[in-house]
Amino acid sequence: MQRSLLLFLGALTFAGCSLNSPASSVYTILPLPEASPDISAPRHGGTVKLAPTRTLPSLGTKSLRYLRPQGESGEYLYSRWSDAPALLIERTLVSSLQNKKLYAAVLPPGSAAAPSHLLESDLTSFEHRFRPNGGSEGYIDMTYRLVDPKTKQTLASKRFQIVAAAATDDAKGGVDALSRATRELARQSTEWLADYLQEKP
C-alpha cells in the first residue's frame, strides 16, 4: 500500500513538472525574397545540382547549438530549428541562385537529371557563439566546391566563415544572428559562383 502511494505521488510530481515546462519554440530561415523579374539569359546555359551537404553529427539534427568561450558546447532546451541547418542553408542558396539566374536551372540533391556542374559542400559550424569579452554572434563555417560531374575534377572551391553579431545573448538572439549569417553566406557564395562563371563560362 505504501509503495503504491509513493508511486502515485511520484507520478503526480512528474506530471506537474511536465505541465510547468515551457513550450518549445521552433524557428526557420525563410528564403530570400524574389528579385524583380529579369528577362536576361542565364550566365550559364547549363544546370547546377546541389549535392547533399556533408556535416558533423551534431549539426545533423534540428538542435539550436551554442558555444561558450571555454569550449563548452550544448543546445538550447526549448528552442530548435524547423530543419537541420544544412537544409536551411540549402534552401536559402537555391533561392539566391534562382534570383541571380546564374544557371538555366538549379537542381535539388534528389534530382535524377544530369547537371552541368555539381556543387558540393562541407558544413563544420553553425552555432550561436559567445565571445570571451562579452556579447555573442551567429557563426557559420562552410566550404563549397564546384565539380565537373563527368570528370570529377574540382573546378573551384572556397571556404566561407560568416559572422553576424547577435543583439541579445539568448536563443532568440542566436536565431536572428544565424538567419542573417545564412543570408550573407548565400549572397557571398552566389557572387563567388558568378565570378567563376564570368571568368570561365
Position 13 pLDDT exceeds 50: no
Of 18 and 190, more confident = 190
Cβ-based burial of 78 (10 A; exposed 0-12, middle 13-18, buried ≥19):
exposed
From residue 179, alpha-carbon distances to 102, 129, 159 in Å are: 23, 14, 19
From residue 23, alpha-carbon distances to 16, 28, 122, 169, 183 in Å are: 14, 16, 33, 20, 28
Domains of the chain: 43-199 (3.40.50.10610)
Q: What is the pTM of this model?
A: 0.85
Task: Write out the three cell numbers for 134.
Answer: 562579452
SS3 content of the chain, % helix, strand, coil (to 5): 35, 35, 30
Which range (21-25, 76-80, 113-117) has the least confidence? 21-25
Place of cell 543583439: 167
121-145 confidence digits (pLDDT tens):
999 999 999 999 999 999 999 999 9
Contact of 174 with 138, CB cutoff 8 Å: yes
pLDDT-derived band at 41 (thresholds 50, 70, 90) equals low
159-173 confidence digits (pLDDT tens):
999 999 999 999 999
Task: Write out the three cell numbers for 155.
Answer: 573546378
From residue 187, alpha-carbon distances to 59, 60, 100, 194 in Å are: 22, 23, 10, 11
